[in-house]
Amino acid sequence: MEINSKITIDVLLDQGRVPQSISWNATDSTADTPQKAKAMMLNFWDGQDKAALRIDLWTNGMMVDEMADFYFQTMIGMADSFQRSTGQTELVAEMKAFAQQFYKKFQESQVQLNG
Looking at the chain, the whole-number percentage of residues with pLDDT higher than 90 is 90
**pTM of this structure:** 0.88
Mean pLDDT of the chain: 95
What would the mean pLDDT of 2-6 be, rounded to a whole number? 91
Collect all residues with Cβ–Cβ distance below 8 Å to 100 and sequence separation of at least 6.
Answer: none
pLDDT digits (tens, 9 = 90+) for 10-36: 999 999 999 999 999 999 888 889 999
Give the H/E segment covering residue 110.
Answer: helix 89-114
Range list of β-strands (E), the chain: 7-13, 19-26, 35-37, 39-46, 51-58
Q: Return the SS3 of 43.
A: strand
Locate the domains of the chain by residue range.
Answer: 1-61, 63-115
